[in-house]
Amino acid sequence: MATMKGKIIKRSKKAPTWLNNDQCALFDRNGLIFYDIYIVAFSGGKDSIACVLHLLDIGVPKYKIELWHHNIDGEGETFMDWEVTPAYCKAFADAFGLKIYYSWKLGGFKREMLRDNQLTAPTAFQCPDGSITIVGGKRGKKSSRLKFPQVTADLSQRWCSAYLKIDVCSCAVSNQKRFNGLKTVIISGERGEESAARSKYADLEKDKSDNRFIGTRTIIVKRKIKGVTREIQTKVTVGKANRFVDRWRPVKDWTEQEIWSIIEKYKVRVHPCYYMGFGRCSCKFCIFGNANQFASSYSISPLLAEEVMSYEDSFGVTIKRKMSLRELISLGNPYPSITKKLAQLATSHVYDLQILFNSEESWILPAGAFGENCGPI
């Protein structure tokens, strides 16, 4: 019988009240969570890799799994992220015979950062038939950013997560009718070990894109009848689209050791940044980076680093608030595991290595494992 960390996933007294039999059939006869589609928010980092491998471990069929990668910089020139990340994600999907779809904000990180009395950009996403759908960017209030996301748990200020990942994913689900009438789960790799805030996240909850059928309710509306405004009762359907979407964090309680153990079990070659010494596979210039990480990123991509720092100067607002990146970099030391070959691979738009080590090769623990996390705190 399939297990999750040695325990059968069963309904418990702590399960959310909306998990009841008249709304869904979440559990099969073995007690395993059941969905029609499993979407993995796939960054290419170790935690999202572990999520995929865990699905395979518990017997989820590959045809039900979709990897969704949100291109932080859009489809234009790379600004904040690692150039190789989209190609690495594609190579990973191909190695395991899984579907992968990309989504992004038009103009990516830079356009959103430079928004000046403008609407947020439209969202684009790939569909199973190979087409690209573009939606949004026409409603709302005009506003300005003109500064980098700030280092905070508040997603309205740390907007890179909200606008370039969470909202993009929700938009892509909400605007595809193929999810209507099905039970879908979006899987993300947050771990409680990373921060106190993440340790309090729910293991399982409704996703932002959920619109499951609940029933009808009566509301009071005002309507003009023969020139006279009247209040009348009317019935409306709640959850008309019947789009059932959960959010599941299967590795929330895993330690980093457990993450690397399942990656070693499948002999996965991870993202090049880990072999260079980075503890997280986030953006190359992630706002949470410390002095050593930014010094490392500067040594790899000095011209892009100078561009990032020039925006700090023009905004008059630094990423770290208390010091500029230039000052921060001067305090750090590049990771000693950075080599010319690894740096070239990480900054290439092509990933040409095998994702899986062959049977004659020994799996190698990356230099960045158990290193400086530099993540949300």
User: In this structure, what CATH number is given to the domain that contains residue 62?
Assistant: 3.40.50.620
pTM: 0.87
Q: How many domains does the chain have?
A: 1
pLDDT of residue 309: 97
Query: Rounded distance, CA 30 to CA 130, Å?
Result: 36
Query: Rounded distance, CA 347 to CA 276, Å?
Result: 12
In a domain, 375, yes or no: no
Cα distances from 372 to residues 23, 123, 198, 254, 291, in angstroms, run: 44, 33, 18, 18, 11
Query: Rounded distance, CA 337 to CA 299, Å?
Result: 12
For residues 48 and 248, the answer to whether their CB atoms sit within 8 Å is no
pLDDT of residue 136: 95
Torsion region of 215: left, alpha or beta (phi above 0 gives left; psi -120 to 50 gives alpha):
left
pLDDT of residue 331: 97
In a domain, 121, yes or no: yes
In the numeric block, the tokens 């439209």 are attached to: 122
Q: How do the pLDDT tens digits run along the chain, 377 residues long?
A: 333 343 333 333 333 433 433 334 344 444 455 899 999 999 999 999 999 999 999 999 999 999 999 999 999 899 999 999 999 999 999 999 999 999 999 999 999 999 999 999 999 999 999 999 999 999 999 999 999 998 887 878 889 999 999 999 999 999 999 999 999 999 999 999 988 888 888 999 999 999 998 888 888 888 887 788 888 877 777 778 899 999 999 999 999 999 999 999 999 999 999 999 999 999 999 999 999 999 999 999 999 999 999 999 999 999 998 999 999 999 999 999 999 999 999 999 999 999 999 988 999 999 999 988 766 65
pLDDT of residue 376: 64
In a domain, 140, yes or no: yes
pLDDT of residue 321: 87
Domain that holds residue 143: 37-346
Token pair of 9, please? 């996933």
Token pair of 78, please? 């790379």
Query: Rounded distance, CA 143 to CA 205, Å?
Result: 31
SS (H, E, C) 291-333: HHHHHHHHHHCHHHHHHHHHHHHHHCCCCCCCCCHHHHHHCCC
SS (H, E, C) the chain: CCCECCECCCCCCCCCCCCCCCCCCCECCCCCECCCEEEEECCCCHHHHHHHHHHHHCCCCHHHEEEEEECCCCCCCCCCCCCCHHHHHHHHHHHHCCEEEEEEECCHHHHHHCCCCECCCCEEEECCCCCEEEECCCCCCCECCCCCCCCCCCCCCCHHHHHHHHHHHHHHHHCCHHHCCCEEEEECCCCHHHCHHHHCCCCEEECCCCECCCEEEEEEEEEEECCEEEEEEEEEEECCCCEEEEEECCCCCCCHHHHHHHHHHCCECCCHHHHHCCCCCCCCCCCCCCHHHHHHHHHHCHHHHHHHHHHHHHHCCCCCCCCCHHHHHHCCCCCCCCCHHHHHHHCCCCCCCCCECCCCCCCCCCCCCCCCCCCCC
In a domain, 333, yes or no: yes
In a domain, 12, yes or no: no
In a domain, 300, yes or no: yes
In a domain, 22, yes or no: no
Nearest to residue 291, comparing CAs of 252, 321, 327, 251?
A: 327
Cα distances from 74 to residues 84, 108, 125, 155, in angstroms, run: 13, 4, 10, 20
pLDDT of residue 265: 97
Instruction: Name the phi and psi angles at 237, rounded to 5.
Output: -90, 130
In a domain, 5, yes or no: no
Token pair of 42, please? 């796939």
